Amino acid sequence: MARNYFGTDGIRGLTNAGVMTAEVAMKVGQAAGIRFLRGKHRHRVVIGKDTRLSGYMLENALVAGFTSVGMDVVLLGPMPTPAVALLTRELRADVGVMISASHNPYEDNGIKLFGPDGFKLSDEDELAIEAMLGTPQPLAPAAEIGRARRIDDARGRYIHAVKSSLGDDVRLDGLKIVVDCANGAAYQVAPSAMWELGAEVLTIGVSPDGKNINERCGSTHTDLVRETVVASGADIGIALDGDADRLIVIDEKGRVVDGDQIMALIGSQWAKSGQLRGGGVVATVMSNLGLERFLTSEGLRLERSKVGDRYVLELMKAKGCNVGGEQSGHMILLDHGTTGDGTVAALQVLAALVKGGKRASETLHLFDPVPQLLKNVRFAGGKPLEDARVQTVIAEAEAQLAGRGRLVIRPSGTEPVIRVMAEGDDEAEVKSVVEAICSAVAEAAG
């Protein structure tokens, strides 16, 4: 079945257009509600959101949808995506919903769904819900319509869980930390958790106005946090995205540390302490070859999944691993949560600084990334990757890089774009290979 609503991470799009309207949100609430009406207990859904202006509209539409099919709703207000996953389990809810478009600008929004176990929905559940969106769903009798209520202690519950991911003996006293919350969902909880652990916290991106989420701040726009770290003499910078499920770190010199380096640190640290399971780390096909070589030198494996944190998680489960993530900063630590959690991952990094007694620049750069280049080719229609000329150029590139690098070519899951990535020890060769493939794809795409 073709997907018209769900992409690689829920439903996402421009607000008040296409799939991201109040009407669609209400239908999603009804369909997801019906899908998870299992058993004879009183059914419950947990709904959180980030700080986008459109969150109010979508929240109300989802409440209408869920209550109309007989589900009670618990509203969390602005909270990180991992908090929704956590509270879905803690409150014994049947389904959880996060209203967010992650690192996208405020004009976009999205709907992410979690099952009662706190994990994102399977392909089977998403396809079933998608199939239901085109038909009216049975509404509850008047006496069985659901109720909605807000809970006041969601923030405290999540902060407690985040802090509990560290041992009781770990404190952050003496660390000066810049925390950039992207004017998003973690603007209250992330700085509070680090302050409660003893750190001196300097905050930026903590004044959301509905329209400034991810605007020149956060994990995808690191200039501000880098400048602040250097200017303030901070030990480290922590940059989260709009829904706080991804993390980028800045060392004391203002250098960016991406998800690959963070996985290298956590994976190797956990291996030494006996905490690592599965004999390695799970990342996507986009993670740098340097990470793979580093893990191999440590006696660990790198398992690669398709792009998307849900596919990382699936492979983690299959391989029995408890550390996984993406170069972009999604960090999944299954000992402490069921989905990516930028704040929990940040605390693992900060704990490594405290325990090691070294500067961030010495702790966080565990390998030298090999030259890597990613380019996107937009196309209007058709299947350019099936063109014979494109396939020939790709085969030639693979032969050229054999033993010295990698080639990853994939269509985007959210837009009409072909992503072409190559990496290898020879930067000029990598550039040449990418340019040749992009030219062939562009020609085939017209």
Average pLDDT over residues 9-29: 95
Q: Is 166 within a domain?
A: no
The span from the CA of 16 to the CA of 242, in Å, is 20
pLDDT attached to residue 2: 63
- The total domain count for the chain is 3
Q: Is 210 within a domain?
A: yes
pLDDT digits (tens, 9 = 90+) for 336-350: 999 999 999 999 999
Domain boundary, last residue among 334, 363, 392: 363
Containing domain of residue 382, as a range? Answer: 372-445
Whether residues 421 and 357 share a domain: the answer is no
Average pLDDT over residues 293-305: 97
Q: Quick one: tokens of 344?
A: 């929990």
Q: Is 157 within a domain?
A: no
What is the CA 148 to chain-centroid distance, rounded?
Answer: 28
Its pTM stands at: 0.92
Whether residues 184 and 120 share a domain: the answer is no
Whether residues 249 and 108 share a domain: the answer is no
Q: Is 313 within a domain?
A: yes
pLDDT digits (tens, 9 = 90+) for 241-253: 999 999 999 999 9
Show the CA angle centred on residue 254, arms to residues 250 and 259, nearest 5°: 30
Whether residues 314 and 336 share a domain: the answer is yes
Please, which pLDDT band fits residue 317 given cuts at 50, 70 and 90? very high
Whether residues 62 and 134 share a domain: the answer is yes
Domain boundary, last residue among 363, 395, 412: 363
pLDDT attached to residue 380: 81
Pairing assessment for the beta strands 372-378 and 323-325 based on DSSP bridges: unpaired
CATH of the domain at 390: 3.30.310.50
Q: Is 165 within a domain?
A: no
Q: Is 163 within a domain?
A: no
Pairing assessment for the beta strands 280-284 and 301-305 based on DSSP bridges: parallel
Domain boundary, last residue among 294, 328, 363: 363
Please, which pLDDT band fits residue 223 given cuts at 50, 70 and 90? very high
* Other residues' Cβ atoms within 10 Å of the Cβ of residue 90: 15
Residue 420 exposure: Cα atoms within 13 Å on the Cβ side: 25
Q: Is 289 within a domain?
A: yes
Whether residues 419 and 317 share a domain: the answer is no
Whether residues 116 and 265 share a domain: the answer is no
Instruction: Decide: helix, strand or coil at residue 230.
Output: helix
Whether residues 354 and 431 share a domain: the answer is no
Whether residues 197 and 334 share a domain: the answer is yes
Order the strands of the 176-180 sheet from edge to edge: 200-204, 176-180, 236-240, 247-251, 256-257
pLDDT attached to residue 1: 52
**356: amino acid identity, one letter:** G
Whether residues 346 and 388 share a domain: the answer is no
Please, which pLDDT band fits residue 307 given cuts at 50, 70 and 90? confident
pLDDT digits (tens, 9 = 90+) for 34-81: 999 988 899 999 999 999 999 999 999 999 999 999 999 999 999 999
Residues 6 or more apart from 395 whose CB is under 8 A from it?
Answer: none
- Measuring CA to CA, which residue among 288, 291, 287, 310 is closest to residue 300? 291
Catalytic residue set: 102
Whether residues 378 and 435 share a domain: the answer is yes
Whether residues 50 and 120 share a domain: the answer is yes
In the block, residue with structure tokens 């562009």: 442
Q: Is 68 within a domain?
A: yes
- Measuring CA to CA, which residue among 118, 35, 60 is closest to residue 84? 118
Q: Quick one: tokens of 50?
A: 């980030």
Order the strands of the 6-7 sheet from edge to edge: 6-7, 10-14, 108-114, 95-99, 44-49, 72-78, 148-150
CATH of the domain at 79: 3.40.120.10
